[in-house]
Amino acid sequence: MASSVHIESALRPRRELVAWRNAIFVIFTLSGLSIATWAARLPEIKANLDVSTGSIGILILGMSAGSILGLMASAWLMVRLGARSGMVLSLGFVAVGLVLIGIGAGVVFSPAVVFVGLALFGFGNGSVDVMMNVEGAAAETELGKTVLPLMHACFSLGTVIGAGIGAAASALAIGIVWHAGGIAVLIAVAVITAVRFVPVREELGDDTPTHSHKADWVTRLRANLSVWADLRLILIGVIMLGMAFAEGSANDWLALAVVEGHGQSAATGAIVFGVFVSAMTVGRVAGGPLIDRFGRVRVLQVSAVSAALGLVVFILGPNLWIIIVGTVFWGLGSALGFPLGMSAAAEGKNAAARVSAVAMIGYLAFLVGPPLIGLLGDAIGLLNALFFVLILVVFSGLASPAAREQRAKP
């Protein structure tokens, strides 16, 4: 069953389409790299700051709140700046945030500085998440083939690279400030280079030689908000909420759960986190043919079962190898929920606003998840707190029929 995003491609040169697609691949990769840079060094950041698990949850609340603000601001940024300039600005916030996290955890040892850094980091990643998915959905439509799962695989590839660099930096005792600062410079340079290949498009707020959207941005913003009346879109958001929780809880807590819950070293925690993001990458690379053959609903249902099974095995695993097996199932099950939700949301009129809306629902996981898991972890243990994620994954699987393709490929 083919996705309905497979429609007649616009009259844009193939070379330009490929360059556009590749540029968005880079943006997704940079976002994943930034997330893993923070997550892989979390055990050392906690140790350097000498704070509790619950306090780390409160610190991550800064990132979560920033993410939600970024998501809320993304529509405004797109209609005011256009997607190209918006993505540069957003990843600029990410780079500055990483630098502050490195300084706060590696130089001045200040939770307050880390909190501010995480807030900027979250704002940048939240806003760029919407913009790169909107661009990815548009490129997918014009290319006439499913590419969003592969784009999300690039995000996962970025997390694999970031986890590998983080594990190496930890093993070599490279300071967090140098590690985070180096990645920040790389992100800033790469995004400025990549956006040159993203086409200027009026519908995303980019000014063109014949028209400026700056004067009518209020009207366009109101139109974007009208999509919230669509019940199907809300249910797609429920799917993404559960899958984002499955993915986000691993990004925020998996390395620490391996260290504190299963008694492993910080380097082992970073390696197991690398296993998770590697499994997600494999799932996303392989996902396109599976989606085309079995349809979104069946793939989402199997994904929910895999994620749920993986969480149970990870939580209850008696030794490192069993834990790794659970991590693989957890990662594979979390791989396709977000990109499939984006593809489903992109169907219909006002696709940019619809993608933005479901991304905001999905990102609620990043707002309530970190502090909730952290506080539950203080009360009942970090591993037991992950059972809450399991419940949300089950709800995501139950809501899967909302993502059914609306029309067949012409």
Written as one letter, the residue type at 10 is A
Confidence band, pLDDT 50/70/90 cuts, at residue 313: very high
Nearest Cα residue to 206 out of 138, 123, 156: 138
Does residue 224 register a pLDDT over 70? no
Q: Where are the domains of the chain?
A: 14-201+228-403
Does residue 221 register a pLDDT over 90? no
Long-range CB contact pairs, 110-119, < 8 A, 24+ = 110/49, 111/49, 111/51, 111/55, 111/59, 114/45, 114/49, 114/59, 114/62, 115/59, 115/62, 116/62, 118/38, 118/59, 118/60, 118/62, 118/63, 118/66, 119/62, 119/63, 119/65, 119/66
Residues in a beta bridge with 330 = none
Nearest Cα residue to 396 out of 302, 327, 304: 304
Confidence band, pLDDT 50/70/90 cuts, at residue 179: very high
What pLDDT does 218 receive?
60
Domain 14-201+228-403 belongs to what topology? Answer: Growth Hormone; Chain: A; (1.20.1250)
Nearest Cα residue to 331 out of 314, 352, 316, 343: 314
In this structure, what are the phi and psi dihedrals at residue 261, rounded to the nearest 5 degrees?
Answer: -85, -35
Does residue 6 register a pLDDT over 80? no
Nearest Cα residue to 114 out of 166, 63, 64, 68: 63
Task: Determine the Cα–Cα distance for residues 141 and 150; give it in Å rounded to an integer.
Answer: 14
What pLDDT does 202 receive?
63
Rounded mean pLDDT of 277-302? 86
> pLDDT tens across 114-138, in order?
999 999 999 999 899 888 988 887 8
Nearest Cα residue to 38 out of 131, 112, 120, 132: 120
Angle at 405 between CA 399 and CA 410, to 5 degrees: 180
Written as one letter, the residue type at 123 is F
Angle at 248 between CA 182 and CA 176, to 5 degrees: 25
Look up residue 359 and give its two tokens.
């991304």
DSSP state of 349: S
> pLDDT tens across 252-273, in order?
789 889 998 898 888 888 889 8
How many other C-beta atoms lie within 10 A of the C-beta of residue 234? 16
Per the CB < 8 A criterion, the answer to whether 373 and 386 are in contact is: yes
Confidence band, pLDDT 50/70/90 cuts, at residue 230: confident
pTM score = 0.72
CA distances, 351 to each of 6, 147, 227 (Å): 14, 16, 9
Buried-state track 180-192, b at ≥16 Cβ within 10 A, e below 16: bbbbbeebbebbe
Question: Worst-scoring range by mean pLDDT, 81-90, 373-382, 395-404?
Answer: 373-382
Q: Which is more confident, 134 or 329?
A: 329
Task: Determine the Cα–Cα distance for residues 59 and 115; give it in Å rounded to an integer.
Answer: 5
